[in-house]
Copies of this chain bind each other. A is one copy, B any other.
Amino acid sequence: MSQGRDRGGRPRSEPARAAVLWAVDDLLAKVGYAAMTMKGIAELAGVSRMTVYRWWSTKAEILFEASALDAEEELTVPPDDDPFEDVTRYLEALHYFLTRSHAGAAYRALLGEAQHDPAVAALLAGRDILGDTARAVVSRVAPDADHDRATALLIGPMFFWILSGRDPARIDPADLARTFLAQISPDSRVDG
């Protein structure tokens, strides 16, 4: 099952890998994404700079590896029989994720970088965390809807509100959930 040839040689140091992932997370919180450097990560991890470059190309890659799992977990809500509750729980999780979560801070930093760095954009496109988790909710509460359109309607308002720097307290997950459910129920459609 093991991939890669492994013909002799010293195996990759797992402690080093873990230390780097931990360090990148720690630095994001302490100094912010912009001030985070490959050099700083290596030093905080107590690892040679060469070792970092051997396994990752950019700080974005490290940060993504360090936070993707957490992000997916935080945005996965247990199914609820009541669609309104289901959607509300998801939007509450999204609100927490975008404003208070550690993994969410990493996501915002990466999405910000993706606006002007195609490599980071490609990295994020490879694993659509927000889209996947939203689609899971959509397929439960509106299995027949256009999933892409529904995802945009579900995530969009809160995403815009928070990423454009508005006061997170002034947006209400329950209200958005109600609006979303009204929007995707066919009878509420206004025909052109």
The residues of A with any CB-CB pair to B shorter than 8 Å are: 32-34, 84, 108-109, 111-117, 121, 124-125, 128, 130-131, 148-149, 152-153, 155-161, 163-166, 170-171, 174-175, 178-179, 181-183, 185, 188-192
> Closest chain B residue to A179 by CB distance?
B183
Chain B hits for A148, CB < 8 A: 166, 170
Stoichiometry, as copies per complex, reads: 4
Q: In the bound complex, do residue A117 and residue B182 qualify as a contact, i.e. CB atoms below 8 Å apart?
A: no
A contact patch SS: helix
Chain B hits for A155, CB < 8 A: 156, 160
Chain B hits for A34, CB < 8 A: 113, 116-117
Chain B hits for A170, CB < 8 A: 148
User: Given that A116-B108, A116-B109, A181-B190 are contacting pairs, would A152 and B163 also be in contact in the complex, using a CB cutoff of 8 Å?
Assistant: no
Q: What's the Cα separation between A34 and B117 when bound, in Å?
A: 7
> Which of B113, B149, B160 lies in contact with A156, CB distance below 8 A?
B160
Distance in angstroms from A49 CB to nearest chain B CB is 12
Q: In the bound complex, do residue A113 and residue B111 qualify as a contact, i.e. CB atoms below 8 Å apart?
A: no
